[in-house]
Structure 1
């Protein structure tokens, strides 16, 4: 299966495809906040509003975790991932962890 045709779905079924379950698959990353982002966040905290540097950091972390999920699924021999979800959380005061997880499947 070509990587550019690899399907990652948040649904349980892929229309028109029959498949067997291979197993659970994960993609993980942890990002650290830097000093510039912390200063900007501190100032934004005073006046309110979106902290764009943090939003950018979380978006990058999400993209990295999905790419790692895909690469791990391909290593397992999967053709797709269904039921993909995200989980995230803080590690201490300066780090954010993002996990993408789902079920790796192989087409019949």
Structure 2
């Protein structure tokens, strides 16, 4: 099975499928902010509005976290991940951590 075939859902149930729980699974990434973009973001912070550089950073981090979640689920022998959630945190002024986590399951 390819990791792109691992179903990832935020719901508890997959309609029409029974499964057994394998266990907790997660994908994690920490991304640093670009210094040049950080300066531009500082100016945007003064005038207000969306800081697109940070939005792009978090979107990329989210995508990486899901990709790692799928790989870890595949390594566990899972067919899907249910109850997927995200968590994110600033660990310093210029670093963001994003975790995707859920429950790895095997279809019966």
- Alignment TM class, shorter chain as reference: over 0.9
After superposition, the C-alpha distances for 1:38-81 in whole angstroms (9 at most, x for unaligned) are: 11111101111000010000000000000000000000000000
Q: For the residues of structure 1 that align with 2:84 and 2:97, how far apart are their CA atoms?
A: 17
Q: Give, in angstroms, the shift of residue 36 of structure 1.
A: 1.2
TM-score, normalised by the number of residues in structure 2: 0.96
Q: Give, in angstroms, the shift of residue 5 of structure 1.
A: 3.2
- What is residue 50 of structure 1 aligned with on the other side? 50
Q: Give, in angstroms, the shift of residue 92 of structure 1.
A: 1.2
Backbone CA RMSD of aligned residues: 0.9
- What is residue 10 of structure 2 aligned with on the other side? 10
- What is residue 59 of structure 1 aligned with on the other side? 59
Question: Alignment length, in residue pairs?
Answer: 108
Q: For the residues of structure 2 that align with 1:95 and 1:9, how far apart are their CA atoms?
A: 27
* Matched residue SS, 2:13: coil
Gap regions ≥5 residues in structure 1: none
1:40 aligns with 2:19: no
Gap regions ≥5 residues in structure 2: none
Greater mean deviation of Cα atoms: 3-12 or 50-59: 3-12
* Matched residue SS, 1:30: strand
